[in-house]
Amino acid sequence: MIPEYLISFNTKALEKIEVDFLIVGGGLSGLFVAYELRDFKTLILFKNGFEESCSYYAQGGIAVALNEGDSSELHKEDTLKTGYYFNDEKAVEILVNEGIERIKEVISLGFKFDKNKDKFHFTKEGGHSKNRILHANGDATGKSITTFFINLIKKFPNIKIFSNAFLIDLIVLENKVIGALVLDESRNKIILIQAKAYVLSTGGAGMVFQETTNPLYITGDGIAIAYRKNVELIDLEFYQFHPTTFYMAGAPRFLISESVRGEGGILRNVNKERFMLDYHPSGELAPRDIVSRAIIDQMKKTNSNCVYLDLTHLKKEYIKERFPQIYNFCKTYSIEPSKDLIPVRPSAHFFIGGIKIDIWGKTNIENLFACGECSCVGVHGANRLASNSLLECLVFGKRVAVKIKEDNFKSVYSDVKYNFPKKTDVLIDKDDLKRSIRSLMWRNVGIERDEEMLKYALEKLKEWQKYAFLKEFDDRNGFESLNMLIVATLITQSALIRKESRGTHYRRDYPETDDKNWKKHIIVSKRGVDIK
């Protein structure tokens, strides 16, 4: 059983803030919800800044059926096929149909996607049957659209932004959120925030893995807090690994967008041999789970620690214009993409599972909503279709805001007494705990899994819990380490339960998909595990 946080702050010093709505997280979903609630007293919390969200770092673009010859039905089928038909079909229909309206809305607000002459330029990525990926400033779509929305919401006086604000805990009474404990790092002070409704848009949990494309601060906070408050979580065993991240000793794991392969990039092994056509008829544009496992297989066969992405058949000026961020990053490490092969290997990229929500973003706790990567409405199934994530932020962010306004939540402001548990304190190297979690998860709960590896990982994680949960914390690093430990344990537990292979969840000891016994979802909460 996961205990409450042990926090060594003076509760009498709490500052209290009352707002209409509280949004936790500054990725695209959180920003879009804030924009939609602009007529209300709305507070949005950034753990750091909007630049540290996964949305900001998204390169490829946004998938939407607006191109000639495309349709929402084709987009739906591609999403279902890539998701191994494990998706919630209703949620997919909402995504592909309302996504068209959301993109038109974003364009009407003044956001500019890249064009070829006077028409939008649509590119293609893995799993898509049509060119339907809109992009902005080449490979800087995420940076462009999050910057656009942060500048937009700053124009509305009702929307307040707190940076360096870390959500420690939610206060729940009789299955209803009545407050949020927030660490104001700029003043090293805890704030009690009360609102009519609360929205978690805290992103994924890439930092539980040693190799990840995610920013440093993506530690699964919202998911862990939700779990401790008895919120249901679902599909946690499905974590997508991006096939191509830059791999060089000492260099960060920089994402090399799937759009690079969509524009003609070829994968080669250490012997310079093209190999993807041996694994899938779509070659480099096969779904991400297949490409990732193919790369791992090639690394084993050739006894190498990476493969290579070949763009040398593309013109230098084209690469610089279409992929400016990727080009400049490679040049930093003395690689000229038009002449040199780019070393790549898979890294943890996107949490397909998360906080269980309905099609309006509602959780099983009253007045608590979730959207974006921390949530799971079932739209991605067992493997996310490329460039559906930013579209999901817009579509379900909009739905959360619509439902909040529709429900017309009444004021729930009241005196809140939060009991800070006290236990025997222990000495813990928080950074070492984080490194240990990440190393263990990468080795044992990564792209390929089996029962022995998973049982060992679960045993180690529970062993660390025995002393980690005795520690009192008063800083974000400590809270993050516990959140990572909680989320890592839940991912491992779910992966051990699912005795089959499906999408991003690959079990070497159960390599086949078993629809008869396992076309079911694993739902976890503090009450236990439910399979249905």
- Annotated catalytic residues are 288
Q: Which residues pair with 212 in a beta bridge?
A: 348
Q: How far is residue 239's CA from residue 384's CA, in Å, rounded to a whole number?
A: 9
Write down the number of H helices and E strands in the chain.
15, 22
Place of tokens 């990476």: 306
Q: How far is residue 500's CA from residue 237's CA, in Å, rounded to a whole number?
A: 11
Q: How far is residue 381's CA from residue 92's CA, in Å, rounded to a whole number?
A: 9
Q: How far is residue 106's CA from residue 127's CA, in Å, rounded to a whole number?
A: 25
Question: Checking DSSP bridges between strand 266-268 and strand 307-310, what pairing results, if any?
Answer: antiparallel
Query: Which of 28, 27, 29, 22 lies closest to 44 in space, CA to CA?
Result: 22
Distance of CA 292 to the CA centre of its chain: 18
The pair of three-digit structure tokens given for residue 217, joined into one six-digit string: 């601060």
Query: Which of 388, 383, 410 lies closest to 99 in space, CA to CA?
Result: 388
Kindly tell me the burial class for residue 258, based on how many C-beta atoms sit within 10 Å of its own C-beta (0-12, 13-18, 19 or more): buried
CA torsion, points 332, 336, 340, 344, in degrees to nearest 10?
40
**Are 336 and 330 contacting, i.e. CB atoms less than 8 angstroms apart?**
yes
